[in-house]
Structure 1
Amino acid sequence: MTQSWKGEFITLILVSYLIVSIHSAPLSAYLVSSFTPPDPDPNLPFNHIAFNNITGDIYIGARERLYQLDSDLNLKETVDTGECSHPNKDHVNDNKLLISLVTPQNYRLIACGGCDGDCQTSSLDNITLDQKSVSTTNKVVSTGDRPTVGAIVLGADNENTGEGKIDGDYFLFNGISGGAPRDTYFISKRRLIDHVSLQEVPGIAVVLPSEKNNLVFQHLISYKDYLYYFISRGEITYLGRLCRNTLDDNFESYTEIELQCTRGGSQNIIQSAYIGPAGSQLAESMNVNTTDDLLYAVFSSTSSSSLCVYKMIDVQQSFDDAILKCINGTGNKNSFLVGSMCNTHECIE
Structure 2
Amino acid sequence: MQVQLFVQSLLWELFTKGASTPETRPSEEAPVPSATVLQGPISEMKAMPWNWTCLLSHLLMVGMGSSTLLPRQPPPPSPKRSFVTFRGEPAEGFNHLVVDERTGHIYLGAVNRIYKLSSDLKVLVTHQTGPDEDNPKCYPPRIVQTCNEPLTTTNNVNKMLLIDYKENRLIACGSLYQGICKLLRLEDLFKLGEPFHKKEHYLSGVNESGSVFGVIVSYNNLDDKLFIATAVDGKPEYFPTISSRKLTKNSEADGMFAYVFHDEFVASMIKIPSDTFTVIPDFDIYYVYGFSSGNFVYFLTLQPEMVSPPGSTTKEQVYTSKLVRLCKEDTAFNSYVEVPIGCERSGVEYRLLQAAYLSKAGAVLARTLGVRPEDDLLFTVFSKGQKRKMKSLDESALCIFILKQINDRIKERLQSCYRGEGTLDLAWLKVKDIPCSSALLTIDDNFCGLDMNAPLGVSEMVRGIPVFTEDRDRMTSVIAYVYKNHSLAFVGTKSGKLKKVLLT
- 1:188 partnered with 2:243: yes
**Which gives a bigger RCO, structure 1 or 2 (Cα 8 Å, sep 6+)?**
1
Root-mean-square deviation over aligned CA pairs: 3.0
Partner of 2:323: 239
Query: Aligned with 1:316: secondary structure?
Result: helix
- How far residue 98 of structure 1 moved from its aligned partner, in angstroms, is 0.9
Alignment match, 2:290: 220
**1:54 partnered with 2:102:** yes
Aligned residue among 102, 107, 112 for 2:168: 107
Given that residues 322 and 331 in structure 1 are in contact (C-alpha distance below 8 angstroms), is that contact kept between their aligned partners in structure 2?
Answer: no
In structure 2, the CA distance between the partners of 1:17 and 1:228, relative to structure 1 (3 Å rule), is farther
Q: Number of residue pairs matched?
A: 323
Aligned to 2:401: 310
- Structure 2 equivalent of residue 204 of structure 1: 268
CA distance in 2, matches of 1:204, 1:341: 22
Which position in structure 1 is the counterpart of 2:185?
Answer: 123
* 2:68 corresponds to 1:13: no
Cα 1:94–1:287, aligned 2, differ >3 Å: closer, same or farther?
Answer: same
Structure 1 distance, partners of 2:37, 2:194, is 49
In the alignment, which residue of structure 2 is the partner of 1:37? 87
Evaluate the alpha carbon distance shift between residue 218 and residue 142 of structure 1 in structure 2; reply closer, same or farther with a 3 A threshold: farther
1:207 deviates by 1.6
Using a 3 Å threshold, how does the CA distance of structure 1 residues 318 and 275 change in structure 2: closer, same or farther? same
Further displaced range: 188-197 or 177-186 = 177-186
Q: Return the alpha-carbon distance in structure 1 between the equivalents of residues 174 and 241 of structure 2.
A: 17
Change (3 A) 1:142 1:184: closer
Partner of residue 153 from structure 1, selected from 214, 217, 226: 217
Indicate the residue corresponding to 1:172 in structure 2.
226
Aligned residues of 1:97 and 1:141 also touching (Cα < 8 A): no
CA contact (8 A) 1:226 1:242 kept: yes
Give the structure 1 partner of residue 382 of structure 2: 299
3-state SS of the aligned residue for 2:121?
Answer: coil
Name which of 240, 262, 267 aligns with 2:350. Answer: 267
Equivalent position SS for 1:198: coil
What are the Cα deviations for residues 114-153 of structure 1, in whole angstroms up to 9, with x where unaligned?
A: 41111111111221x2442133524213421111011121
**3-state secondary structure, aligned to 1:168:** coil
CA distance in 2, matches of 1:130, 1:244: 29
Residue correspondence of structure 1 range 269-284 to structure 2 within 5 A: 269-284=352-367
> The residue matched to 2:408 in structure 1 has which SS?
helix
Q: CA separation in 2, counterparts of 1:340 and 1:168?
A: 38
Instruction: Tell me: CA distance 1:172–1:206, structure 2 relative to 1, closer, same or farther (3 Å).
Output: same
Aligned to 2:146: none
Alpha-carbon distance in structure 1 between the residues aligned to 2:368 and 2:161: 37
SS at match of 1:36: strand
Q: Tell me the alpha carbon deviations over residues 93-116 of structure 1, each in whole angstroms, 9 at most, x when there is no partner.
A: 11111110112xx11111111411
Rounded to whole Å, the distance in 1 between the matches of 2:115 and 2:210 is: 21
8 Å contact kept, 1:18–1:306: no
CA distance in 1, matches of 2:24, 2:94: 33
**What is the rounded CA distance, in whole Å, between the counterparts of 2:159 and 2:43 in structure 1?**
28
Match of 1:23 in 2: 38
Query: Which of 199, 205, 215 is 1:137 aligned to?
Result: 199
Task: Please report the TM-score for the alignment, with normalisation by the length of structure 2.
Answer: 0.58
- Identical aligned residues as a percent: 26
Q: How much does 1:275 deviate? A: 2.4
Q: 1:83 to 1:19 in 2, by over 3 A?
A: farther
Distance 2:229 2:302 in 1: 12
CA distance in 2, matches of 1:73, 1:18: 36
User: What is the rounded CA distance, in whole Å, between the counterparts of 1:220 and 1:46 in structure 2?
Assistant: 20
Which one-letter code corresponds to 2:181 in the other structure? C
SS in 1 for 2:206: coil
Q: Does the residue aligned with 1:179 lie in a helix, a strand or coil?
A: coil
1:171 shift after superposition: 1.6
1:122 and 1:232 map into 2 onto residues whose CA distance is 31
Instruction: Provide the rounded CA distance (Å) in 1 between the counterparts of 2:116 and 2:24.
Output: 39
Query: Measured at CA, do residues 270 and 18 of structure 1 come closer, stay the same or move farther in structure 2, by a change above 3 Å?
Result: farther
Query: What is the CA deviation profile of residues 169-212 of structure 1, one whole-angstrom value per residue up to 9, with x for unaligned ones?
Result: 11211011133134541211111221123222312221212316
Q: TM-score, normalised on structure 1?
A: 0.82
Question: How far, CA to CA, are the matches of 2:32 and 2:156 in structure 1?
Answer: 40
Could you list the runs of 5+ residues in structure 1 that have no partner in the other structure? 1-8, 156-165
